Structure 1
């Protein structure tokens, strides 16, 4: 026996309210989130906010004095890239459960998030770095009919 449309609508509305509350809670949790990362050479420490913005920069132990401009720039860029990747991962982990389909109503697919559009190069972690989270999914979806569907819309 099929469920009356009124009950299905009520379930859908309850599910929507639940998702809205979960999104608000995730946004609140991330509002003050940051990651502090040191460069591999330990010359630079950066702090990156949830949106990938640089919020702090420290030059450690006067190591910068023995570095040329290009080395120092490379250390800063590497640390910022790693910090952005760490924050991108935290945001993806926070919002990831909201991308799952509803267990009650299969018609509700979950929210669709284009992680690449949001984070861009931050998903690689460093300049020239590759994505790690959905590499297999990307490989599976690359052969699809739609050239724009590369498996990156959902985490």
Structure 2
């Protein structure tokens, strides 16, 4: 093997070790990370872990007791989705140096990651006009008391 080839191989191995070290640091940093968000109505607070898993849910006041279940559910979903979006963006920011030009091995353009595929709807935090916020708004729009349902409840009593 020529000296030039040995130098290239040594540089590639050093680059690989640097990338592996950077990934290990990022994984360590995110390992215990959490993100917390509140619903717009300030009724629900949700906390998610580094993989977007729900780790905590708080009802911040007693208003939920007087609201219809679909409205409470919408607040829970909203808070969880917002917390997941925060965590997804934190993961992307943490791994961004490895995904940019020069972030990967020598001679490569960095690691190509399809973040939409990785995180799906979690990336939609409502600022981009995407699917998630619109879906939550549609759910909120559907929350209403149907007069027919109230009549049926009264008849059953």
Shift of 1:23: 0.2
For the 8 Å contact 1:123–1:130, the answer to whether it is kept is no
Q: In the superposition, relative to structure 1, how do residues 66 and 105 fare at CA in structure 2: closer, same or farther (>3 Å)?
A: closer
Root mean square deviation, CA, Å: 2.2
- Contact kept, 8 Å, 1:99 with 1:112, in 2: the verdict is yes
Change (3 A) 1:5 1:101: farther
Q: 1:83 to 1:102 in 2, by over 3 A?
A: same
More helix by share: 2
- The alignment of Structure 1 onto Structure 2 pairs a total of residues equal to 128
CA contact (8 A) 2:26 2:94 kept: yes
Residue equivalent to 2:82 = 82
Separation (CA, whole Å) in 2 of partners of 1:24 and 1:130 = 32
CA 1:54–1:109 in structure 2 vs 1: closer, same or farther (change >3 Å)? same
Deviating 4+ runs (over 3 angstroms): 103-106
Which residue is 2:73 aligned to?
73
Runs of 5+ unmatched residues, structure 1: 132-155
* Partner SS state of residue 29, structure 2: helix
1:39 corresponds in structure 2 to: 39
Greater CA drift, 76-85 or 104-113:
104-113
Gaps of 5+ in 2: 132-157
Does the 8 Å contact 1:102/1:109 carry over to 2? Answer: yes
Partner in structure 1 of residue 21 of structure 2: 21
2:91 aligns to what? 91
The normalised TM-score by structure 1 is 0.76
CA 1:102–1:5 in 2, change beyond 3 Å: closer, same or farther?
farther
What is the TM-score of this pair, normalised by structure 2? 0.75
CA contact (8 A) 2:97 2:103 kept: no
Tell me the distance in 2 between the aligned counterparts of 1:57 and 1:123: 20
User: What's the secondary structure of 2:15's corresponding residue?
Assistant: helix
